[in-house]
Structure 1
Amino acid sequence: MSRSGSLAKASLPYAEALFESSQFIQLIEKTNQDLLLISETLSKSDSLKLFLSNPLVASETKKKVLQKLFLDQVSSHVLNFLSILVDRRRISLLNSIIDCYLTLVYKLKLTTVANIYTAAVLTDLQQKSLEKKLQDMTNSKEIKLVIQVNPELIGGFVIKIGSKIIDMSIYGQLNQMTSYLNVASL
């Protein structure tokens, strides 16, 4: 099993528990926003990630730091969840738990996440058009585009939804032609 697969397997029960408790107290959207804020904070601070994942740092110290960082920014529900993760020595799984939680929320909302790799920045009109086409293709209520610019694609774009990939890039077409020509010359 891959490292990301085992992370997801260990993270899913925590994400499900948070999701169910948030749903019960009707705080799914607030929890969603709180987790996005925490994820953004962690992505900006490697030292915070190292601090939280360090087994030599006492649990109480980690909880105090998390309290100071997020006390006025996230709900007490999420702060309690972070404390539980620290107590159970699962705080290092936080990013994976957040990813699993967001997947559960997107399923509830019938939202499909589409990773878009494009050679150039898409305009708002292009994004809206792409969202509409993907909505029709996937029968989703909502499409969430995660766009990354990759100049190596030369032109066009690549869409990844789950395990499905639609490659409309010039780079991908050149690779297809190359492999076709290599097979044809045999």
Structure 2
Amino acid sequence: MTADLVARRYARALFAIGQGRGDAELEAYGKDLAAFTQVLEGNTELLKLFRNPIFSIEEKKAITGRILEALNPCPTIKNFCFLLADKKRLAWLPEIEAYYAVLLDQAKGVVRGELVTAVELPDARQEAVKKQLAAQLGKELVLNFSADAGILGGVVLKVGDKILDASLRAQLNAMKEQIKRGE
């Protein structure tokens, strides 16, 4: 089984448990998973330890218990993390958390995206663009803005799994290809 498939299965299972308990629980699970994942990503040695078969399940559970003590998550997340330790899946927690976040966004009707421009946009312009895109989508939009001088001009918009590349760089590359083909 690939890590992605495993992560999706565990995330869906935890999400199903949370759905049965209400929206507040779904949110709490997401926050607790994100906090644990942040600890793991902040200390790559922990991820290596959880992947290493030399360490026993009991040793991994002891370390997990110390982390959970510091984070103080809800009991369901504690049990979930210990289950992952028992099943030798703790190293996949970042992927599980990422897919859980996707499921949570879908349930709340939230779409995430990124808008790349050649120059930094002022805050007022960012808000205007965000409102216009949210109105077109008909959903709540969480949009990250970034600047990349390499696109030369225009924008590159990524929303969900769709990409709109209206950058000057992309247009110049298209013209270059047309010239090469003799069109």
Task: Specify if TM > 0.5.
Answer: yes
Shift of 1:88: 0.8
Larger mean Cα displacement after TM superposition, 147-156 or 123-132 = 147-156
Q: Secondary structure at the match of 1:55?
A: coil
User: What's the CA shift string for 1:56-76, capped at 9, x where partnerless?
Assistant: 211121122122123242222
User: Quick one: which amino acid aligns to residue 152 of structure 1?
Assistant: G
Between stretches 113-122 and 72-81, larger displacement belongs to 113-122
Cα distance, 1:10–1:155 mapped onto 2, change above 3 Å? same
Residue pairs, 1:1-186, within 5 angstroms: 6-26=2-22, 27-73=25-71, 74-140=73-139, 142-183=140-181, 185=182
Identity %: 27
Q: How many residues align?
A: 180
Instruction: Please say if residues 71 and 79 of structure 1, whose CA atoms lie closer than 8 Å, have aligned partners that are also in contact.
Output: no
TM-score (ref. length: structure 2):
0.85
TM-score when scaled to structure 1? 0.84
Q: CA separation of 1:114/1:49 partners in 2, compared to 1, >3 Å: closer, same or farther?
A: same
Q: Which runs of 5+ in 2 are unaligned?
A: none
CA-to-partner distance for each residue in 1:18-76, whole Å, 9 max, x for gaps? 11112223311111111222222222221111111112211121122122123242222
Q: Deviations over 1:63-108 (max 9, x none)?
A: 2212212324222221211111111111222122112111111111
Letter in structure 2 aligned against 1:97: I
> Distance between the aligned counterparts of 1:39 and 1:150, measured in 2?
29
What is the CA RMSD across the aligned residues, in angstroms? 2.2
